Amino acid sequence: MNERRDFVAGILLGGLIGAVLGVLFAPAAGEETRERLRRESAELRDRAREQADRVAERMRETAEEVAERVRSTAEEVAERSRSVIGERVERLRSAFEVGRDAESRPAGDPEA
């Protein structure tokens, strides 16, 4: 019976000490906690916005860089195409002139 009384007394004493320590070291009151949560959530929201703005700016910069590369490459391809087409046109023109000259020469002409 003595052990039982000691056990109950230990539980009561432990509960009392816990309650006192809980009151002494309790976090801020409910209103203070809610205000702190509001303040911290506003700070977190502001930081998230700033980060989103930084990411959006970097994406714009990257998109501009990619667009410039595409433009540059397209211009290079267009210039090469114009050059190749010019060469082919010149070859065709030369071949046409050679054919025209051959056609206009008399049949027994030694240059033919």
Q: pLDDT tens digits, residue range 46-90?
A: 988 999 999 999 999 999 999 999 999 999 999 999 999 999 999
Tokens of 95: 């071949």
Q: What does the alpha-carbon distance between residue 69 and residue 83 come to, in Å, rounded to a whole number?
A: 21
C-alpha Rg value of the chain to the nearest Å: 45
The pLDDT confidence band at residue 1, using thresholds 50, 70 and 90, is: low
Q: List, in order, residues 6 or more apart from 27 with CB less than 8 Å away.
A: 33
| Start-to-end C-alpha separation, the chain | 137
Res 112 pLDDT > 60: no
The mean per-residue pLDDT over the stretch 90-112 comes to 78
Q: What does the alpha-carbon distance between residue 57 and residue 45 come to, in Å, rounded to a whole number?
A: 18
- pTM score over 0.75: no
**Does residue 98 contact residue 104 with C-beta atoms inside 8 Å?**
no
Name the 3-class secondary structure at 38.
Answer: helix
